[in-house]
Structure 1
Protein backbone atom coordinates (compact mmCIF):
# COMPACT_ATOMS: atom_id res chain seq x y z
CA UNK A 1 0.00 0.00 0.00
CA UNK A 2 1.49 3.35 -1.01
CA UNK A 3 1.99 6.12 1.52
CA UNK A 4 -0.18 8.52 -0.52
CA UNK A 5 -3.07 6.06 -0.68
CA UNK A 6 -2.76 5.30 3.06
CA UNK A 7 -2.91 9.05 3.82
CA UNK A 8 -6.04 9.46 1.68
CA UNK A 9 -7.74 6.52 3.43
CA UNK A 10 -6.90 7.96 6.88
CA UNK A 11 -8.30 11.36 5.84
CA UNK A 12 -11.49 9.76 4.50
CA UNK A 13 -11.97 7.74 7.71
CA UNK A 14 -11.34 10.86 9.80
CA UNK A 15 -13.92 12.85 7.84
CA UNK A 16 -16.61 10.14 7.69
CA UNK A 17 -16.31 8.98 11.31
CA UNK A 18 -15.80 12.52 12.64
CA UNK A 19 -12.66 11.46 14.52
CA UNK A 20 -10.14 14.05 15.74
CA UNK A 21 -7.55 14.66 13.01
CA UNK A 22 -4.70 14.86 15.54
CA UNK A 23 -5.33 11.22 16.51
CA UNK A 24 -5.88 9.60 13.12
CA UNK A 25 -3.47 11.70 11.04
CA UNK A 26 -0.73 11.90 13.72
CA UNK A 27 -0.87 15.70 13.85
CA UNK A 28 0.26 17.82 16.79
CA UNK A 29 -2.38 19.37 19.06
CA UNK A 30 -1.38 22.84 20.24
CA UNK A 31 -3.24 24.62 23.04
CA UNK A 32 -2.27 28.18 24.01
CA UNK A 33 -3.46 30.28 26.90
CA UNK A 34 -2.89 33.87 25.90
CA UNK A 35 0.73 34.60 25.21
CA UNK A 36 2.08 32.95 28.38
CA UNK A 37 1.40 29.20 28.18
CA UNK A 38 1.52 26.58 25.41
CA UNK A 39 0.73 22.86 25.62
CA UNK A 40 1.82 20.66 22.70
CA UNK A 41 0.77 17.04 22.31
CA UNK A 42 1.91 14.45 19.78
CA UNK A 43 5.43 15.71 19.10
CA UNK A 44 8.28 13.32 18.34
CA UNK A 45 11.06 14.90 20.39
CA UNK A 46 12.81 18.05 21.54
CA UNK A 47 15.42 19.21 19.01
CA UNK A 48 16.59 22.48 20.58
CA UNK A 49 15.81 24.57 23.64
CA UNK A 50 16.83 28.00 24.90
CA UNK A 51 15.01 30.77 26.75
CA UNK A 52 14.12 32.38 23.38
CA UNK A 53 13.48 29.36 21.11
CA UNK A 54 12.15 25.80 21.28
CA UNK A 55 12.21 23.44 18.31
CA UNK A 56 10.18 20.20 18.30
CA UNK A 57 10.27 17.32 15.85
CA UNK A 58 6.90 16.36 14.36
CA UNK A 59 5.98 13.35 12.25
CA UNK A 60 6.15 15.68 9.26
CA UNK A 61 8.35 18.72 9.78
CA UNK A 62 9.12 20.73 12.90
CA UNK A 63 7.43 23.19 15.22
CA UNK A 64 9.33 26.34 16.19
CA UNK A 65 8.24 28.38 19.21
CA UNK A 66 9.91 31.77 19.70
CA UNK A 67 9.57 34.00 22.71
CA UNK A 68 11.20 35.43 25.82
CA UNK A 69 11.93 33.72 29.12
CA UNK A 70 10.74 30.34 27.86
CA UNK A 71 10.74 27.60 30.49
CA UNK A 72 9.83 23.92 30.15
CA UNK A 73 7.27 23.22 32.88
CA UNK A 74 6.50 19.61 31.89
CA UNK A 75 8.13 17.29 29.36
CA UNK A 76 6.89 13.80 28.56
CA UNK A 77 7.63 11.54 25.57
CA UNK A 78 4.89 13.11 23.41
CA UNK A 79 3.78 16.15 25.44
CA UNK A 80 5.42 19.39 26.51
CA UNK A 81 4.26 22.45 28.44
CA UNK A 82 6.12 25.75 27.99
CA UNK A 83 5.67 29.03 29.82
CA UNK A 84 7.08 32.47 29.14
CA UNK A 85 6.19 35.21 26.66
CA UNK A 86 5.32 33.41 23.42
CA UNK A 87 5.80 35.64 20.39
CA UNK A 88 5.61 33.18 17.52
CA UNK A 89 4.61 29.59 16.72
CA UNK A 90 5.75 28.41 13.29
CA UNK A 91 5.23 25.11 11.52
CA UNK A 92 8.30 24.21 9.42
CA UNK A 93 7.70 21.69 6.66
CA UNK A 94 10.34 19.13 5.75
Structure 2
Protein backbone atom coordinates (compact mmCIF):
# COMPACT_ATOMS: atom_id res chain seq x y z
CA UNK A 1 0.00 0.00 0.00
CA UNK A 2 2.88 2.38 0.78
CA UNK A 3 4.37 1.78 -2.65
CA UNK A 4 1.11 2.67 -4.39
CA UNK A 5 0.77 5.81 -2.26
CA UNK A 6 4.35 6.84 -3.11
CA UNK A 7 3.78 6.24 -6.84
CA UNK A 8 0.60 8.32 -6.69
CA UNK A 9 2.48 11.20 -5.03
CA UNK A 10 5.21 11.08 -7.68
CA UNK A 11 2.60 11.05 -10.47
CA UNK A 12 0.70 13.98 -8.92
CA UNK A 13 3.91 15.95 -8.49
CA UNK A 14 4.93 15.46 -12.13
CA UNK A 15 1.56 15.76 -13.86
CA UNK A 16 -0.26 18.29 -11.68
CA UNK A 17 2.81 20.48 -11.07
CA UNK A 18 2.44 20.31 -7.30
CA UNK A 19 5.49 21.09 -5.13
CA UNK A 20 7.51 17.94 -4.40
CA UNK A 21 8.43 18.99 -0.87
CA UNK A 22 4.74 19.14 0.10
CA UNK A 23 3.51 16.04 -1.74
CA UNK A 24 6.38 13.72 -0.84
CA UNK A 25 7.40 15.05 2.60
CA UNK A 26 10.82 16.09 1.30
CA UNK A 27 12.92 18.51 3.32
CA UNK A 28 13.10 22.10 2.12
CA UNK A 29 16.50 23.65 2.80
CA UNK A 30 17.14 27.38 2.44
CA UNK A 31 20.72 28.50 2.93
CA UNK A 32 21.96 32.08 3.11
CA UNK A 33 25.67 32.09 2.35
CA UNK A 34 27.60 30.16 4.98
CA UNK A 35 25.80 31.93 7.84
CA UNK A 36 22.23 30.62 8.08
CA UNK A 37 20.38 27.47 7.12
CA UNK A 38 16.62 26.99 7.45
CA UNK A 39 15.29 23.43 7.25
CA UNK A 40 11.62 22.49 6.94
CA UNK A 41 10.00 19.02 7.05
CA UNK A 42 12.49 17.36 9.38
CA UNK A 43 11.49 14.67 11.89
CA UNK A 44 13.69 15.72 14.82
CA UNK A 45 17.20 16.52 16.01
CA UNK A 46 19.41 13.45 16.45
CA UNK A 47 22.63 15.22 17.46
CA UNK A 48 23.67 18.80 18.08
CA UNK A 49 27.03 20.29 19.01
CA UNK A 50 29.03 23.42 18.29
CA UNK A 51 30.32 21.82 15.05
CA UNK A 52 27.59 19.40 13.93
CA UNK A 53 23.83 19.10 13.51
CA UNK A 54 22.20 15.80 12.50
CA UNK A 55 18.50 15.78 11.64
CA UNK A 56 16.18 12.85 11.03
CA UNK A 57 14.23 13.05 7.78
CA UNK A 58 11.40 10.89 6.49
CA UNK A 59 13.96 9.06 4.36
CA UNK A 60 17.47 9.29 5.73
CA UNK A 61 19.28 12.00 7.64
CA UNK A 62 20.74 15.45 7.05
CA UNK A 63 24.21 16.19 8.44
CA UNK A 64 25.44 19.78 8.68
CA UNK A 65 29.06 20.45 9.65
CA UNK A 66 30.77 23.72 10.49
CA UNK A 67 31.60 25.82 13.53
CA UNK A 68 29.99 28.09 16.13
CA UNK A 69 26.51 26.60 15.66
CA UNK A 70 23.55 28.12 17.47
CA UNK A 71 19.96 26.98 16.99
CA UNK A 72 18.03 30.24 16.69
CA UNK A 73 14.56 28.74 16.13
CA UNK A 74 13.27 25.23 16.60
CA UNK A 75 9.70 24.12 15.92
CA UNK A 76 8.27 20.60 15.45
CA UNK A 77 9.18 20.51 11.72
CA UNK A 78 11.31 23.65 11.24
CA UNK A 79 14.76 24.71 12.37
CA UNK A 80 16.95 27.79 11.88
CA UNK A 81 20.67 27.27 12.46
CA UNK A 82 23.31 30.01 12.57
CA UNK A 83 27.07 29.62 12.42
CA UNK A 84 29.74 28.95 9.82
CA UNK A 85 28.39 26.16 7.61
CA UNK A 86 31.04 24.11 5.81
CA UNK A 87 29.13 21.02 4.65
CA UNK A 88 25.54 19.90 4.14
CA UNK A 89 25.35 16.15 3.58
CA UNK A 90 22.26 14.05 2.83
CA UNK A 91 22.64 10.52 4.24
CA UNK A 92 20.39 7.87 2.66
CA UNK A 93 18.81 5.16 4.78
CA UNK A 94 20.65 1.87 4.40
In the alignment, does 2:39 pair up with 1:40? Answer: yes
Partners of 1:25 and 1:15 in 2: how far apart?
12
**Other structure's SS at 2:54 match:** strand
**Other structure's SS at 1:11 match:** helix
Q: Which residue of 1 aligns with 2:74?
A: 75
What is the correspondence of 1:16-35 to structure 2 with a 5 Å cutoff?
A: 16-35=15-34
Gaps of 5+ in 2: none
Q: Kindly report the root-mean-square deviation, in angstroms, between the aligned alpha carbons of the 2 structures.
A: 0.7
Please, what TM-score do these two structures have when normalized by structure 2?
0.96
Q: CA deviation at 1:4?
A: 2.0
In the alignment, does 2:15 pair up with 1:13? Answer: no
- Displaced runs of 4+ in structure 1, greater than 4 A? none
Gaps of 5+ in 1: none
Partners of 2:90 and 2:4 in 1: how far apart?
24
Task: Count the aligned residue pairs.
Answer: 93
Partners of 1:13 and 1:22 in 2: how far apart?
12
**Other structure's SS at 2:26 match:** coil
Q: C-alpha deviations, 1:42-92, integer Å up to 9, x for none?
A: 000011000100000000110000001011000000000000000000001
